[in-house]
Amino acid sequence: MNESVPLPIARKGSQLLKYLRPTFGVVVLLFILYRLYSVLVIRHEYGADTWTRLLITGLIIGGVYALIAIGYTLVYGILFMINFAHGEVMMLGAYAGFFVFEALKSIKVSSEPPLNFSNANPVISIIIAFAVGMTVSALSGFLLEKIAYRPLRKAPRLVPLISAIGASIFLQNAAQLLFSPQLRDVTNPEILRRGIGWKILINGSNVIIPYTGVFTFALSILLLIGLYIIVRKTKLGRAMRAVALDKKTAALMGIDVDKTISQTFLISGALAGAAGVMWGIHNGLVYYFVGFIPGIKAFTAAVLGGIGNLPGAMLGGLFLGLIESMGPAALGINFQLKDVLAFAILILVLTFRPSGLLGEVLSEEKV
Amino acid sequence: MNKTLLSQSLRVGITFGVIHLFLLLIGFNAMLGSLFADIARVKQSGSIPASIFLVLYCALLGVWAGYSAAKKEDANVFGRKLVRGLIAGTVAGLISAVVSIIFAVLVTNKIDPRKYLAVLSLDFMRASLFNLPVVQGVAANFGVLAGAGLAGGLLTALSSFSKVKHAWKNFAGLVKGGLEKIRYCTSGKYHLLFKIIFLVVLAAAIFFLPTKWGSYWNYVIGTVGIYVILGLGLNLIVGLSGQLVLGYIAFFAIGAYTMALLNAPEPHNLMWGFWPALALGVVLAAFAGILLGLPLMRLRGDYLAIVTLGFGEIIRILLKSDLMTSFTGGPRGIQDIKGPTIFGQPFNTDVNFMYLIIGGVLISMFIYNRLKHSRTGRAWLSIREDETVARASGVNTVKYKLLALALGAAFAGLAGGIFASRNQFTGPDEHALMASINVLSLIIVGGMGNIPGTILGAFALKGLPEILREFANFRLLAFGALLVVMMLSRPEGLIPSRRPTLQIPEDPQSDEENKEVSHVD
Amino acid sequence: MKAMKLLVVLTVLAMLFTACAPAATPTAAVKTEAPAVAPVDEVPAVCASDAFGCAVFAPGEVVKLGMGAPMTGGDSAFGLDISQGAFLAAKDAGDFNGVTFEVVAEDDGGSPEGGAAVANKFAADPAVVAIPGHIFSGATAAAMPIYEKAGFPMLSPSATNPALTTKGSPVFNRIAFTDAIQGAFAANYLFEKLGVKKLALVHDGQDYGKGLVEVVAKEFAALGGEVVATEAITPKETDFTAVLSALASKAPEAVYFGGYTTEGAILANQMKQTGLENAVFFGCDGTYGADFLERTGPNGEGAFAVSLTPPNTEAKLVFDAAYEAAYGSKPGTLSPFSWNGYDVTAALISMVKSVAVVGGDGKVYVPRGALVAAVRGLKDHVGISGTFTCQENGECNASGPLFVVVKDGAWVPAP
């Protein structure tokens, strides 16, 4: 439970560093302030309506990132390994959601007027989609751990990482071969049609708050709160925290370590599955590569917030989403460079807080 | 006792049934069937129906299932192994039968599920029923797997009873003994003689092979060589000093783009020539390593990994972006990069480049080897093992970590320069995240921290996908699966590093080392 | 000791490859030398005079066309689709003096590295005579020098990088639409016909889209219009509302997009919720297709694109039916280039047939150098997606673009 212990060092290299880091920070900060000033005050490029739109976009995407990031953080907190295949677990959930909606769409409830099950019982449809998607992802997370990670628990740390990378490549290509590389459109129930939402008038321009977005964001937050309660209040959560702290001692205290790890993978998989279904509902496209980019982003978010730390992952996800949507506008740079900005801020944050925004709640074993 | 027999065999059967189902749904059986047909060279004559090969595929799978189940039997009882094989085969056969019933229903009703499952055309499903009428097809699907399972059990049982096992043991012993002998010869008093013979053979191979095996193999082996250099460089960083770097390919990109910008007609037409561009690329890459390292020296483990990953992506996106297009050529990349000249003569055929790459590999290996066994190398090892302790015992960790980053990056710069010049092209997308991951995978698959492992890993990671070309779009699937299997079966890598231990009886190593060092000096 | 071990390993590896090498070289050597070894009276004279010699096929053998395409990874849809079109063309080519045609699709991952590897592999295969590819410009550029040495004509269905045809390569040709012409026409159409004065440009950060957008920007400004913003999106992402919101604040009258249907459809959809309800979505040939209609629904109404496909000719209908029967999806759903894949292969095969000579021994001789020249001299080849005549630089599709617009859920020629 230590925040990297300061060590007495007096060497030239570190002396250099001592001055370098603040200088670096000040330069970057000055640059950012200058850009902000020129864009916001001098050029006044965007109106309040645009900022609201960017905020909405950022929050929605940030919510999804947070949900996936939690999966990384949970697994990392316990096994100290980067579950590189987590994005693919999400992809499987997204596919499951797509298939459920397709199946429900094909069930005709009445022919006059033409009505299918998915539109007749939208709430039930959505619940089924999430249930199936989360189950599929949870199971695949569980199997992944059992087949590709568990035998490597005693191996050097990089070995499970490579195994995870292999699993990620395998799953991506398996999905491509199974379902073809075609992009699939997810057909939502009518009440969650994409592109419609509440309209608010700002600056004489209609700003739409899309239903799918609100749904996605709200559900993300609900799931995150639910997870927090599980980890903090239940017996399982206590077991997870104990295993994260020290596996040996936890085992001595009568905790079934293997079972706890399996359950962790189940939970993180389920969350990724939910994220996958949401991705389908909000963005509408599902294909075999759909998990890769969000996976990398969520991993970044988890590290940004302090990997191993639940609120950190959530904060990191939202922060990353907002940087991606508002950052380029605020600094007046091309949106193509949003990932450059995101990673640059990551580097900046880690330069000053080497263990992420919220530090880390991890055992010493990690270091 | 019987319960374990039943449950274990059931489990094996179900596993193989599911594997069979999965392979069926991705069309692997059809691909393998046509591959068998190609091997048997019956494609043109068409005398043997293609379904024979599908049956063969099923039979092989069944035998494997039976073997896996029977192998689990501890007791050396003939019947028990048979029963295990039979159970596993039957279960897998049952699953296969259920699937084929579904196929039969779809075929008879002419429902084409390809909208959702890509390979299930009607023809394909008919072929999976071995082109037989429904009932026979389903029965055959069941029968072949069950029978093959039994056969697998029988095979296992036989092999454990007959002299097969014995013969195998003898053979393995022979090979092992042979290897021991070779090792003895090479390390004993014939040491020098063998060294000379090996060197001569190696030199001859290096000299003659590139001219003999044609441009394709020059290309493939050349790429492997480039990745050996990359692997060695990353080994300095990850394998020796223990810093996990995920954006290593960025340094490669710096080398490649330096070469491209300085030695191509567009966009700048500087035409410095190959050698100055290569040298500058190496220096710039090393400089970038230091620049990246300076603010990040406090980071450890996975934090460093993600930051370097980010760095790699930043470089890639910037190379590609509108902002830099006039400078770097944007997404189009840079073409017509010129090759090297030696004494005014162009040195740019595929054979020449092969020599160049071999030269680069040899130099990298030499430098790597010297560094590893030097004071610096030991400092890196100490940092890798425990940074806190290393620091406490007087190692300047910051200096050594930066040194590792800079040197590793320089290796990548070298590889990048040669690579760009050989391909006459470089573009932003060849420096994507997946390339970094490939390099990291190769050093871990090969065995971290040693040169033979790196070479073998480079062959496995860059050569294997070329060899797997026959598998067409199953290529990456097989690659991913192999990566997992390799890690599960050999977590230390194909060639594990041997750590120097204290119980070396006569310690020839250090003597030898000192000698070599004095040679160098 | 360590060094010794290393040497052992290296030697073993070297031996392995010496062991492999004899297996590989004789076949190549024998085949390429075949014309010289065969009795003189049976070898057609063209082979002796041809700069690259002849490829020889005994009856029953297969003439291979080597397609380098991304078959795995994020862009595999393109490779899969175009190769499927090409397979059909090879099937349609039928039997030619006892030999048949086959398209061999090798995975180049769309990358230069893969392109060069595949090209080297084809170059070593004596049965490959022509290259319907590659698919992506990067892979094409890397592969080109290798084919130049081997004497393989290329006819790419989709590589659009303008630089590919400016280097004077004798082997490279393409039927893909050149960015320069399309861009100029589009700028003109936007300014003159639609009366757009303020234009926003978006591209997908790839060769093709970026090239188009650069041309449009230049031409539009030259006409006197104002380009209010140029933004790039990241392909494979699905949420572009942030970019679009930023564009909306500049109040453009139209958004020109250079890229493909996947992102184009998302943009058209999301424009309706980001304050760009009244701006016109103007796409390119990459965004044309039935897929765009399905993905956008009512949001796509009024969107423009460029069509290369003459609406429903008989040949197209036949191909569409054959494609769907063979692969279970409509052409154009995986990529907009299904028809191009067929066309390039069919054109190459017809050129092979036109230069091939049947020798006195009944074998088919394909003079390689003559084939390269024949493909460059392609004239009035009627394909599904147009009629192709190759110019001296290798551009085989210089016809003016046909603008189409979505009206009542269908593409119709724009006024």
pLDDT tens-digit map of C308-355:
665 678 888 899 999 988 888 888 777 778 888 999 999 999 999 999
Instruction: Confirm whether A19 is domain-assigned.
Output: no
Is it the case that residue A134 has pLDDT exceeding 90?
yes
A50 with C245: Cβ contact below 8 A: yes
Domain locations in chain C as residue ranges = 44-177+315-388, 179-307
> Is the CB of residue B517 less than 8 Å away from at least one CB of chain C?
no
> What pLDDT score does B43 carry?
52
Q: Which of residues 120-149 of C touch B (CB under 8 A)?
A: 120-121, 123-124, 137-138, 141-142, 145-146, 149
CA distance B309 to chain A (A): 9
**C402 by DSSP, 3-state: which?**
strand
Chain C residue at shortest CA distance from B222: C117
CA distance C225 to chain B (A): 21
Chains in contact with C, counting 3 or more C-beta pairs less than 8 Å apart as contact: A, B
The predicted-structure confidence for C264-288, as pLDDT tens digits, reads as follows 989 998 898 888 888 999 998 888 8
Of residues B461 and C87, more confidence is placed in C87
Of residues B302 and A36, more confidence is placed in A36
Phi and psi dihedrals of C383, rounded to 5? -110, -175
CA distance B276 to chain C (A): 24
Determine contact, residues B72/B84, Cβ cutoff 8 Å.
yes
Instruction: Confirm whether A33 is domain-assigned.
Output: no
Q: What CA–CA distance (Å, rounded) separates C11 from B516? A: 22
Instruction: Confirm whether A37 is domain-assigned.
Output: no
CA distance A13 to chain C (A): 34
Is it the case that residue C206 has pLDDT exceeding 70?
yes
> Is the CB of residue A49 less than 8 Å away from at least one CB of chain C?
yes
CA distance C134 to chain B (A): 15
Nearest to B72 by CA among B61, B83, B60: B83
> What pLDDT score does A364 carry?
38
Chain B residue at shortest CA distance from A25: B295
Count of C-beta atoms within a 10 Å radius of residue C359: 18
> What pLDDT score does C32 carry?
37
Residue B402: list chain A partners with CB under 8 A.
13
B289 and B389 inside one domain: yes
The predicted-structure confidence for A55-93, as pLDDT tens digits, reads as follows 999 999 999 999 999 988 899 888 888 888 999 999 999
Nearest to A212 by CA among A179, A188, A186, A229: A188
A343 with B310: Cβ contact below 8 A: yes
Query: What average pLDDT score do residues C235-263 get?
Result: 88
Please give the angle made by the CA atoms of C157, C301 and A206, to the nearest 5 degrees: 125
B148 and B286 inside one domain: no
Residue A352, domain CATH: 1.10.3470
CA distance A173 to chain B (A): 5
Confidence band of C39 (pLDDT split at 50, 70, 90)? very low
Residue A61: list chain C partners with CB under 8 A.
239
Count of C-beta atoms within a 10 Å radius of residue B168: 11
Q: What CA–CA distance (Å, rounded) separates B37 from B33? A: 6
Instruction: Confirm whether B167 is domain-assigned.
Output: no
Nearest to B215 by CA among C105, C54, C18, C116: C116
From A256-260, C3-7, C42-46, the region with the lowest mean pLDDT: C3-7
Q: What CA–CA distance (Å, rounded) separates A212 from A282? A: 5
A367 with B444: Cβ contact below 8 A: no
Range list of β-strands (E), A129-256: 184-185, 197-202, 205-210
Q: B352-371: string of b/e by CB count within 10 Å (b at 16+)?
A: bbbbbbbebbeebbebbbeb
Count of C-beta atoms within a 10 Å radius of residue B309: 25
B134 and B243 inside one domain: no
Q: Can you give C220-272 as a three-state secondary structure string? A: HHHHCCEEEEEEECCCCCCCCHHHHHHHHCCCCCEEEEECCHHHHHHHHHHHC
> What pLDDT score does B47 carry?
57
Instruction: Confirm whether B488 is domain-assigned.
Output: yes
B281 and B394 inside one domain: yes
Is it the case that residue C231 has pLDDT exceeding 60?
yes
> What pLDDT score does C310 carry?
57
C167 with B509: Cβ contact below 8 A: no
Q: Tokens standing for B386?
A: 């425990």
Nearest to B428 by CA among B416, B441, B438, B440: B416
Query: What average pLDDT score do residues A324-351 get?
Result: 87
Count of C-beta atoms within a 10 Å radius of residue B205: 18
Of residues C12 and B280, more confidence is placed in B280
Chain A residue at shortest CA distance from C299: A195
**C336 by DSSP, 3-state: which?**
coil
Number of domains within chain A: 1
Instruction: Confirm whether A165 is domain-assigned.
Output: yes
> What pLDDT score does B190 carry?
65
A to C CB pairs, distance under 8 Å = 105
Instruction: Confirm whether B208 is domain-assigned.
Output: no
Percent of chain A whose predicted confidence (pLDDT) is above 70:
93
Instruction: Confirm whether B83 is domain-assigned.
Output: yes
Is it the case that residue A98 has pLDDT exceeding 90?
yes
Number of domains within chain B: 2
Residue B335, domain CATH: 1.10.3470
> Is the CB of residue C12 less than 8 Å away from at least one CB of chain B?
no
Q: Which of residues 218-247 of B touch A (CB under 8 A)?
A: 238, 244
Average pLDDT, chain A: 85
> What pLDDT score does B512 carry?
45
Q: Which domain holds residue B404?
A: 218-498
C269 with A180: Cβ contact below 8 A: no
Determine contact, residues B21/B97, Cβ cutoff 8 Å.
no
> Is the CB of residue B124 less than 8 Å away from at least one CB of chain C?
no
Q: What CA–CA distance (Å, rounded) separates B453 from B447? A: 5
Instruction: Confirm whether A128 is domain-assigned.
Output: yes
Question: What is the topology classification, in CATH, of domain C44-177+315-388?
Answer: Rossmann fold (3.40.50)
Percent of chain C whose predicted confidence (pLDDT) is above 90:
25
C124 with B219: Cβ contact below 8 A: no
Q: Tokens standing for B355?
A: 């020599």
Count of C-beta atoms within a 10 Å radius of residue B323: 17
Q: Which of residues 427-466 of B touch A (CB under 8 A)?
A: 433, 437, 440-441, 444-445, 448
Residue type, B455: I
Q: Which domain holds residue A304?
A: 46-366
Q: Which of residues 195-224 of B touch C (CB under 8 A)?
A: 195, 198-199, 201-202, 205-206, 209, 212-221, 223
Residue C210: list chain B partners with CB under 8 A.
322, 325, 330-332
DSSP string, B185-220: HHHSTTHHHHHHHHHHHHHHHHHHHHHHSHHHHHHH
Bridge partners, C338 (sequence order): none
CA distance A235 to chain C (A): 39
> What pLDDT score does A16 carry?
65
| Residue of B14, B23, B116 to mutate, testing the A interface (most A Cβ within 10 Å of its Cβ) | B116
| Residue of B425, B433, B471, B516 to mutate, testing the C interface (most C Cβ within 10 Å of its Cβ) | B425
B356 and B467 inside one domain: yes
Determine contact, residues A141/A262, Cβ cutoff 8 Å.
no
Q: Which residues does chain B have with pLDDT short of 50?
A: 504, 506-521
Instruction: Confirm whether B182 is domain-assigned.
Output: no
Question: What is the topology classification, in CATH, of domain C179-307?
Answer: Rossmann fold (3.40.50)
